[in-house]
Amino acid sequence: MDGSAHRNELRTTCAYCGVGCGVLVRPDGKGGLSVRGDPEHPANFGRLCSKGTALGDTLSLDDRLLSPRAFGTDTDWDSALTLVADRFSRSIAEHGPDSVAFYVSGQLLTEDYYVANKLMKGFIGSANIDTNSRLCMASTVAGQKRAFGTDTVPGTYEDLELADLVVLVGSNLAWCHPVLYQRLAAAKAARPAMKVVVVDPRRTATCDLADLHLALAPGSDVALFNRLLSAIHEGGALDPTYLNHVDGFEETLQAAQKQRAEVTGLSAEQLAAFCAMWLRTEKVVTVFSQGVNQSSSGTDKVNAIINCHLATGRIGKPGMGPFSVTGQPNAMGGREVGGLSNALACHLDLEDAGHRALVGDFWKAPAMAEGAGLKAVDLFRQVRAGRIKALWIMCTNPAVSMPDADAVREAIAGCDFVVVSDVTARTDTARLAHVLLPATGWGEKDGTVTNSDRTISRQRAVLPAPGAARPDWAIICDVGRRMGWPEAFDYATPAQIFDEHARLSGLAAATAGRDFDISGLTGLGADGYADLAPTRWPVTKQGSIERFFADGRFFTPQGRARMFPVSARAPVARTGPRYPFVLNTGRIRDQWHTMTRTAKAPRLNQHLGEPFLEIHPQDAQALGIAPASLVAATSPTGRCILRVLITDRVQRGQVFAPMHWTGETAPTGRIDALVPGVVDPLSGQPESKAAVVALAPHDAAWFGFAVSTGTLTPDCSYWARSRVTGGWRAELAGDIATQDWEAEARRLFALPHARCQSVADPATGTARLAFLDPDNHLLAALFVSPTPVTLSRDFLAAQLGQVAGTPLSGRPGADMPDPGPVVCACLGVGLNTIGAAIASGQATTVAQVGECTGAGMTCGSCRPEIAALLAGARQVEAAE
């Protein structure tokens, strides 16, 4: 692969996950960008996943917020900013600084994030600024601070490749950190002796790489790692020299020995196999993510994992250590600038008076916050109680992503004054704002992000700001200046903000002994900042270090690490006769959170196009739930209707649903309506993975499937819509079947006059309608049936805008093979195409399927699925 950037190509960093891949982009001359992986970036060395590959398809301006808006009307920046500054100042004057709040995001750039925190914690004088990282990384932050004294990720990505055993705990790496997964898969292929263990109640795509999958009981990770610690002790695997640097060993071991491992639900053989692998392998990396963090015992889970690494001295050395993989592109940057309501910039603590004084002096702050502010769940409770009178939400969609989302939506709707900064007005949260501020998005804004292994990379602007959109840092500084602090917020460029942050980090490291030190990056100037290459912190004028803690030096007051006695606690919400199922939630491969960007790329909507609920076959049978039907899920906080996906990937009594759907895309699929606002007592992180629900078939009177070149406006009890090439598609279901489907379809498609072809059979309740333009091009089609509609959806969608052949047949003619549902999103290769290659005998391995069809050759994140198809085919063969 060509390592250098071509002419006109600019280096930047992917907008999505915490792997932080480098990308090379070039304007395609049509308002978009062509994108490829940066071969020189140390996170990805040229690789990209399906989401990164599709970045160029998400940049259209059709749904962008292009002008500030106040109370429903477009306005100019000066009026909007003055309004925001006045309302915040007035609330502070009348009700005190704690009557206002910011709720921000790990998707802000470091420079945006730094000034937002400076404004709230140093100038407004409150710490009521929290971030969606509370829902994401807070347990890791709390656990690492307990153990190390600072929130430090000791290792690097290379450690996953150097390890002989990689344990993935509560991480679906294949779908959520696909490029890191590919690096791991490549390392394992090159060195088959390497072992991978997946600890996850669900059998995920990541398990395809696993030598051992431990499907433990939800929430029981502490018990598993306590068992491991006991085994480490019994098996003589302790590192007594390293333990000289560690406090708390005895108590921690005693607590571990008291732990009953049965609560994991794992067999004695499974536990023994896991412990034996760990004990006999020195080079172990334990990767963990939301299955650990998003738990009412999240912090204890983090410490239970770290305890085992400290006890064996397997930390901070090549191929060894606990490794928290971060979710958002700047989750780490947010932690560095003190984005959480109990933190301060440069890994300083808001609760430490010395740290407050240090930052206060540096900022020349008139009103340093005096202690920790509200954490996200409490913050929105205070909004609901009317105690927060002015709220500014930036770069996050809490009306969807917060637990107890219906209550959060109500809270925002009831707040006196709500400002939302976003790239689009079409979000559940933006719809509730009094003032909307248009932000520049990825590809348009300049700044830095830090990925999971502490590498700081530049995001660079390639495209002009659309309409009146402005960068978040500039918007925040303008409000700060208008609130009366012109000097403190007098930055002309993000480079100046970065420089201030770098200087403060040097001070924090030198005077308060903090880990985060980027003083080596001070004084870069505009050019040095523009050219900044990916750099791992810490970086001082003396240089950099790769890993932390191999030397046994920690950032606690005593300079020693701390092991913490922990014992397993079950999730807070308990199943019972009323709510018999545990609801696990998470992500799918091709969508990013609330889908405001990924859903713009048709190829990313093809893999899984609607909200679904994974349920075990025996549970489905017991409840009378048929494949592809709809199910109603009810919890103490809300109700959802979801498509049923019957699979033994989930265990009996457990169900799984993705978090991505919203009021914009599937109003009954807002899964956080079901999740209670229960949090870890230390970190304040919500327990997003263990709600309880009751399930029942949702008996719709009719089911429908529609495609349209224009937007669809469904009005029925269940719908989910997504973009396809050339238009939209929607799944529909309703409680009352109409007698006049043509009238209903005309309303749905906003096509009052287009020519309609239809076949209807009132006796069976089926109807098929196609709408055509004068030249016979297909404008829209609706298929209705009393049972879930079966037809080739991709075929019908592909007919949009084409001269209509036989759209009402719902499947292709003999001359046009149906590629089937898309498996490989990068190249659009369908299930049937792959199936045909396998059936022909030409493809017996994943690599051969790639050679025959192209599937799996670009980003590789569909390879586990291809492997499953091959395995399925082999099983069938064996049975024959």
Ligand X SMILES: Nc1nc2c(c(=O)[nH]1)N[C@H]1C(S)=C(S)[C@@H](COP(=O)(O)OP(=O)(O)OC[C@H]3O[C@@H](n4cnc5c(=O)[nH]c(N)nc54)[C@H](O)[C@@H]3O)O[C@H]1N2
Interaction with ligand X in 402-431: which residues (CB under 6 A)? 421-424, 427
Question: Which amino acid appears at position 306 of this protein?
Answer: I
Show the binding pattern over residues 113-152: x = contacts Mo ion (CB under 5 A), - = does not.
Answer: -----------------------x----------------
Q: Is 534 in the site for ligand SF4 (CB under 6 A)?
A: no
Closest CB 177 distance from ligand SF4, rounded Å = 6
Q: Is 339 in the site for Mo ion (CB under 5 A)?
A: no
Show the binding pattern over residues 174-193: x = contacts ligand X (CB under 6 A), - = does not.
Answer: -xx-----------------
Q: Euclidean distance between the first and final Cα of the chain, in Å?
A: 44
Which residue in 24, 33, 46, 52 binds ligand SF4 (CB under 6 A)? 52
Choose one: 91-99, 283-291, 384-392, 799-807; the region binding ligand X (CB under 6 A). 283-291
Report the distance separating Cα 118 and Cα 803, nearest Å. 59
Report the distance separating Cα 307 and Cα 315, nearest Å. 11
If the CB atoms of residues 168 and 215 are measured against Mo ion, the closer one turns out to be 168
Which residue in 9, 16, 590, 712 binds ligand SF4 (CB under 6 A)? 16
Q: Select from 232, 165, 236 the least CA-distant residue to 194.
A: 165
Which residue in 126, 144, 204, 685 binds ligand X (CB under 6 A)? 204
Q: Is 396 in the site for ligand X (CB under 6 A)?
A: yes
Show the binding pattern over residues 326-365: x = contacts ligand X (CB under 6 A), - = does not.
Answer: -xx-------------------------------------
What φ, ψ does residue 548 adopt, rounded to 5°?
A: -105, 155
Q: Select from 833, 766, 771, 820 the least CA-distant residue to 800.
A: 771
Which residue in 11, 51, 514, 603 binds ligand SF4 (CB under 6 A)? 51
If the CB atoms of residues 15 and 509 are measured against ligand SF4, the closer one turns out to be 15
With CB under 5 to 8 Å by kind, the binding choice for 20 among ligand X, Mo ion, ligand SF4, none is ligand SF4
Q: CA neighbours within 13 Å on the CB side: how many for 826?
A: 21
> In this structure, are residues 228 and 278 in contact, taking their beta carbons and an 8 Å threshold?
yes
Q: Is 677 in the site for ligand X (CB under 6 A)?
A: no
With CB under 5 to 8 Å by kind, the binding choice for 14 among ligand X, Mo ion, ligand SF4, none is ligand SF4
Which residue in 11, 12, 17, 64 binds ligand SF4 (CB under 6 A)? 17
Closest CB 263 distance from ligand X, rounded Å = 11
Q: Name the β-bridge partners of 586.
A: 658
With CB under 5 to 8 Å by kind, the binding choice for 44 among Mo ion, ligand SF4, ligand X, none is ligand SF4
- Provide the CA 94 distance to its chain's centre, in angstroms: 38
The H-or-E segment that residue 250 falls in is helix 249-258
Report the distance separating Cα 67 and Cα 342, nearest Å. 34
Show the binding pattern over residues 145-184: x = contacts ligand SF4 (CB under 6 A), - = does not.
Answer: --------------------------------xxx-----
Q: Is 331 in the site for ligand SF4 (CB under 6 A)?
A: no
Q: Select from 718, 688, 726 the least CA-distant residue to 702.
A: 718
Q: Is 689 in the site for ligand X (CB under 6 A)?
A: yes
Report the distance separating Cα 205 and Cα 856, nearest Å. 14
The residue whose two tokens read 């019994």 is: 234
Closest CB 220 distance from ligand X, rounded Å = 7
Q: CA neighbours within 13 Å on the CB side: how many for 646?
A: 15
Which residue in 327, 506, 807, 820 binds Mo ion (CB under 5 A)? 327
Interaction with ligand X in 428-447: which residues (CB under 6 A)? 439, 441, 445
If the CB atoms of residues 130 and 446 are measured against Mo ion, the closer one turns out to be 130
Choose one: 9-17, 319-327, 671-679, 838-846; the region binding ligand SF4 (CB under 6 A). 9-17
Give the count of beta carbons closer than 10 Å to the beta carbon of residue 254.
11
Q: What's the sign of the alpha-carbon dihedral 874, 875, 878, 880? A: negative
Closest CB 293 distance from ligand SF4, rounded Å = 18
Cis peptide before 218 (omega within 30 of 0): no
Q: Select from 217, 400, 193, 362 the least CA-distant residue to 280.
A: 193
Closest CB 273 distance from ligand SF4, rounded Å = 31
User: Which residues are CB-neighbours of 12 under 8 A, at least 6 positions away?
Assistant: 22, 23, 24, 25, 443, 458, 459, 460, 462
Interaction with ligand X in 11-50: which residues (CB under 6 A)? 17
Choose one: 163-171, 547-555, 767-775, 811-819; the region binding ligand X (CB under 6 A). 163-171
If the CB atoms of residues 49 and 781 are measured against ligand SF4, the closer one turns out to be 49
If the CB atoms of residues 15 and 640 are measured against ligand SF4, the closer one turns out to be 15
Q: How far is CA 27 from CA 45, 429, 460, in A?
A: 22, 31, 13
Question: In 464-487, which positions are buried (b, 16+ CB within 10 angstroms) versus exposed (e)?
Answer: ebbebbbbbbbbbbbbbbbbebee
Closest CB 48 distance from ligand SF4, rounded Å = 4
Report the distance separating Cα 724 and Cα 720, nearest Å. 13
Which residue in 25, 33, 35, 48 binds ligand SF4 (CB under 6 A)? 48
Report the distance separating Cα 847 and Cα 836, nearest Å. 15
Q: Is 401 in the site for ligand X (CB under 6 A)?
A: yes
With CB under 5 to 8 Å by kind, the binding choice for 202 among ligand SF4, Mo ion, ligand X, none is ligand X
Report the distance separating Cα 323 and Cα 289, nearest Å. 9
What φ, ψ does residue 659 adopt, rounded to 5°?
A: -95, 5
If the CB atoms of residues 177 and 356 are measured against ligand SF4, the closer one turns out to be 177
Q: CA neighbours within 13 Å on the CB side: how many for 807?
A: 31
Report the distance separating Cα 158 and Cα 310, nearest Å. 20
Q: Which residues bind Mo ion (CB under 5 A)?
A: 136, 327
Q: Which residues bind ligand SF4 (CB under 6 A)?
A: 14, 16-17, 19-21, 44, 48-49, 51-52, 177-179
Q: Which residues bind ligand X (CB under 6 A)?
A: 17, 105, 107, 132, 135-136, 169-172, 175-176, 199-202, 204, 218-219, 221, 289-291, 294-295, 327-328, 394-398, 400-401, 421-424, 427, 439, 441, 445, 472, 584-587, 589, 591-594, 596, 659, 671-672, 675, 688-689
